[in-house]
Amino acid sequence: MPKNSPFTDAILSWYDRNGRHDLPWQHPASPYDVWLSETMLQQTQVATVIDYFQRFKSKFPDIPSLAQASLDEVMQLWAGLGYYRRAKHLHEAAKIMAKKHSGRVPSSLEDLMALPGIGQSTAGAILSIAYQKPCAILDGNVKRVLCRHYGIRGWPDSTLTLKQLWPLAESLTPNKDCHRYAQAIMDFGAVLCTRNKPNCQACPIQKSCYAFLQQCIEQLPEKKPRAKVPEKTLHFWILQRDNGDIFLTQRPPLGIWASLWAFPEGEPPMSNLAEYHKQTLSPFLHLLTHFRLTIKATLVHIGKQNLAEIKLAGTWCAPHTVGKTLGVPKPITKLITQL
Ligand code: SF4
């Protein structure tokens, strides 16, 4: 069996001494738990994920229960975690696993990567951690560590840089202990070789680290070439009855906040709007990865009418129940607190 590289051995022994060994998805690291946690951990910190993971697991303990749930139930548990396409993909993938893979997470790279929301790195994590098959992973934390330690230039998500990173990640993955190494290298990036102020003084691979030796830690990994973030304005119509109830409608399955519940947006939801008393709320900014949104809203006092005029399908609910029963995006929660 080929020997581990000194880098791999150093990361493994660092993990034994300093890694996180008590996360709720580690004992046992079942394929479902690893898949769920890896999906939640994309773009999200461990501390935030723990609660969401536990709530999700108690409602959907396995793939069949997740596959049978409605998208609304899934979205409701996901609300606040952001990047909602992850939840949609999770739900779609669970349905496929229930149908095609006897309700199990598949154990081949090909089958995993054919599922919605599972890229090569998540597939690698599932195979290494849950099935103990040596497969490389390359999440954001791992990319940062490798770019710094091996002095790899270029934005890590560019095709050219990935062509260097994947073979490197593969060459560092041990045959034995691949499950420990997968967790170790992700943890190392998350805890020690952090984006800002990495703890180089405590780093076991400092002596061989290109970025440390060349004093260019802040320049690696290189940033994405800047593209201007598009700006967009969303205008919401908050219809409110005398008893305080508000009207929510489900957003389309594609686009911003897909399938979550929100106030009607864009065109006025009724033709006889002029008949009602209206109030403009203070606009505010909301930043998404791909958009800079200005949120505007008009509160429409509806009175007691039964509102046959509303053009959209939707539901009336008391403001304090929103979020408990329906998944809503953050700006909607913020607007509700303004009421
Ligand atoms: S020396 Fe610093 S920059 Fe290099 S791998 Fe260690 S923590 Fe990261």
Residues 237, 305: Cα–Cα separation, whole Å: 17
Question: Is the domain of 184 the same as that of 321?
Answer: no
Residue 281, domain CATH: 3.90.79.10
- Tokens read off for 333: 């929660």
Cα atoms found within 13 Å of the Cα of residue 76, Cβ hemisphere only: 15
Question: Is the domain of 83 the same as that of 165?
Answer: yes
Q: How many domains does the chain have?
A: 2
Segment 298-335, tens digit of pLDDT = 999 987 765 557 778 899 999 998 878 888 999 999 99
Residues 83, 79: Cα–Cα separation, whole Å: 9
- Tokens read off for 97: 């696993």
Contact 256, 325 (CB under 8 A): no
Considering the domain boundaries, does residue 327 fall inside one?
Answer: yes
Find all residues with CB under 8 Å of 183, minimum gap 6, and list them.
15, 19, 26, 129
Residues with CB under 6 A from ligand 1: 145, 148-149, 192-193, 198, 200, 203, 205-206, 209, 211-212, 217
**Catalytic residue positions, numbered:** 38
At position 333, the amino acid (one-letter code) is T
- pTM assigned to the model: 0.72
**Residue span of the structural domain in which 313 resides:** 231-338
Question: Is the domain of 183 the same as that of 244?
Answer: no
How does the average pLDDT of the chain come out, rounded?
93
- For residue 325, the model assigns a pLDDT of 80
Question: Is the domain of 36 the same as that of 92?
Answer: yes
Question: Is the domain of 131 the same as that of 74?
Answer: yes
Considering the domain boundaries, does residue 264 fall inside one?
Answer: yes
Residues 133, 140: Cα–Cα separation, whole Å: 21
Residue linked to tokens 């095709």: 159
Question: Is the domain of 17 the same as that of 127?
Answer: yes
Question: Is the domain of 181 the same as that of 329?
Answer: no
Question: Measuring CA to CA, which residue among 10, 8, 6, 4 is closest to residue 204?
Answer: 10
Question: Is the domain of 35 the same as that of 180?
Answer: yes
Segment 46-58, tens digit of pLDDT = 999 999 999 999 9
Segment 197-224, tens digit of pLDDT = 999 999 999 999 999 999 999 999 999 9
Question: Is the domain of 178 the same as that of 258?
Answer: no
State which of 18, 195, 209 you would mutate to test the pocket of ligand 1, scoring each by most atoms of that ligand within 8 A of its C-beta. 209
Residue 110, domain CATH: 1.10.340.30
Question: Is the domain of 164 the same as that of 237?
Answer: no
Segment 60-117, tens digit of pLDDT = 999 999 999 999 999 999 988 888 899 999 999 999 999 999 999 999 999 999 999 9
Ligand 1 centroid–CA 123 distance in Å is 26
Question: Is the domain of 161 the same as that of 70?
Answer: yes
Closest approach atom of ligand 1 to CA 210: 4
Helix then strand then coil, % of the chain, to nearest 5: 45, 15, 40
In the chain, count H helices and then E strands.
13, 6
Q: Does residue 268 have a cis peptide bond before it, meaning omega lies within 30 degrees of 0? A: no
